[in-house]
Chains A and B, each alone.
Chain A
Amino acid sequence: MPQHELILLKNMMQPGYTGSLVDYEKTGGYQALRKTLGKIAPADVTAMVRKSGLRGRGGAGFPTGVKWGFLPKDYQGPRYLCCNADESEPGTFKDRQLMERDPHQVLEGIVLSCYAIGAETAFIYIRGEMVLGAKILEHAIAEARAAGYIGKNILGTGIHADVWVHRGAGAYICGEETALLESLEGKRGLPRIKPPFPATHGLYNKPTVVNNVETLANVPHIMNRGPEWFAAIGSPPKSTGTRVFCVSGHVKRPGNYEVPMGITIRELVYEHAGGMRSDKPLKAIIPGGASAPFFTPAHLDVKLDFEHVALAGSMLGSGGVTVMEEGTSMVWAALRLMEFFYHESCGKCSPCREGSSWLVQTLRRILAKRGHMEDLETLLDLCKNIAGRTVCAFGDAEVAPIQSTLKYWRQEYVDLIHEAEAVNLIKLEPAGRH
């Protein structure tokens, strides 16, 4: 396996590392906080993060420092930071590891980010199912509070930052930043119409930043080692740093692999994840979570960074890489993902609420060999009328599996429909005799 420096997973690779405050401090933990608070101006912290090129690890890949810079400079009231730990994108399981194995790394990132944006309160919105993760974070917060890293007058600098864990309750859409804010306000998790953006009208209508767990976990390292160091890792200038890729599906060694951005899908799948689990060859890859269009074996040499994946027609998204072997039905795979989106559609926008149900029904019909050739047009027509016509990006995401499988494996749909027609002919025959 190629050697490269680990950043986020480095601590937890140490023998006996428990993620406790003592362990974290031994590896140089909270040094960035000591170096930064009261010594580097908040605006300069933002400038450093901007210079590092750090981009959001949750899905959209928005430059973090730029996002922070959108907060109004002259606003006197409270501001909030929300750590998006609602990891629910099928194929993604990195934040869970970062929080459960090295919670202080995330917390240090949160406090540093609070300082940069002038927030005195941060909420970690963690998905409801991660009961253990929430307990671990709460324990870590108590440790950090007792040691003076969190709370009032942090390290005697006069800076306050309190951190609370808030559990969601099982809704994928709450990973969308404005739905997360609605949910945190105790309402149904329906995304808000943007603008206004959370930077000016966020939690309780106050200036708010929402950042993913992995994004925030990178911040202490940027402060410790400088933005230039970070900006040189990966695939500069636009995709800097490492990514924790979550490999799942038909590979020998599924799991989380932290690699510099810009390695190829082939390296990730065949060198890190050990290649295919059996002698069946690779058939399809999803490069960035369920919302990302499928890739074929022809895309194995696509570099895993924001630009190259987008150029090849998909998206790097949340870093969930799913591998499927020959013999997997792509119609079935598209249906499984579509059932997910149907279940998780929040119901606010008609195209998504109704369209996702139609898409599921049409796919089920085709898979059950009751389809017609017109169904393929129906599918594409529905996709066209959902994408771009909803309040949030969920609409664009849900059509990705269908559009991409129809693009690359149309014949599988056609074969199922032809079988359906053959079955229907046989069924009709006896009726004709009477």
Chain B
Amino acid sequence: MLKDKYGKEIEDILSRYPVKRSALIPLLYVAQRDQGYVTESAMQEIAALLRLTPPQVYETITFYTMFNLKPVGRFHLQVCKSLMCALVGSDTVLEWINAKLGIAPGETTADGLFSLSVVECLAACGTGPMMMINDDYYEQLTEDKLDRILSDLRSTGTSSLKTGPFMWPEPTPAERAREA
């Protein structure tokens, strides 16, 4: 039960909203963090918590692309394929991933480590091509960088190549001096 495990967090979320249903998306995030995807029993529990019917929860969750209704790999690679990233090579990034991991969009590696999705614009158009892996952004991708990211993830579960807090272009020393 989510309530036993995350009782305080759930209470805190509920306290922010004058109308309970507003807490639905935040609670679905709690459920997704717990299992990597949102299970049917979690949806039922959340429905009861918010005094909603299970179909009300289901109709909402199916509208939003960020909720997984099925298990995904430990690392979920989401590559932006919108025009701005495509102009600077997002299709090539997909080819690299396919060559290195043997997966196409919608697939997961046999060891369950990596899943690949293509997604629409992630608001990093000036630093494309880019992808999101779990909660982190990786921008200005090159083949070499991709290799390092994948090997970092395999060995340590995270990578120092993730980007942010975001600012681009980084100001030159001369520009900084002018503003100081």
Contacts and interface: CB of A to CB of B under 8 A. Distances in A.
Interface in A26-55: none
Contacts of B67: 169
Interface of B: 16, 18-19, 21-26, 28-29, 50, 59-60, 63-67, 81-84, 86-88, 119-128, 132, 135-137, 164-169, 171, 175-176, 178-180
A100 B164 contact: yes
Interface in A117-171: 121, 127-133, 136, 164, 166-171
A246 B176 CA distance: 20
A172 to B, nearest CB: 7
A129 B164 CA distance: 13
B123 A129 contact: yes
B60 A188 contact: yes
A337 B169 CA distance: 25
Contacts of A136: 165
Contacts of A250: 87-88
A87 B126 CA distance: 14
Interface stretch (A67-75, A91-99, A378-386, A406-414): A91-99
A101 interface: yes
A340 B176 CA distance: 37
A186 B167 contact: no
Interface string A1-18: 001001000101111000
A88 interface: yes
A231 to B, nearest CB: 23
A298 to B, nearest CB: 21
Interface in A307-351: 320, 322, 324, 328, 333, 336-337, 340, 343-344, 346
A320 B178 CA distance: 26
A129 B132 contact: yes
Contacts of B135: 131-132
Contact of B16 (A92, A164, A183): A164
- Determine which residue in A204, A336, A346 has the highest number of CB atoms from chain B within 10 A of its CB, and name it: A336
Contacts of B66: 128-129, 169-170
Given A10-B179, A97-B168, A333-B83, A167 B125 contact: no
A166 B26 contact: yes
B125 A248 contact: yes
B165 A132 contact: yes
Contact of B125 (A13, A131, A246): A246
A19 interface: yes
B22 A185 contact: yes
B88 A340 contact: no
A93 B82 CA distance: 14
A103 to B, nearest CB: 9
B137 A132 contact: yes
A130 B123 contact: yes
Given A15-B176, A170-B64, A255-B169, A78 B18 contact: yes
Contacts of A188: 59-60, 63
Contact of A340 (B23, B64, B121, B123): B121
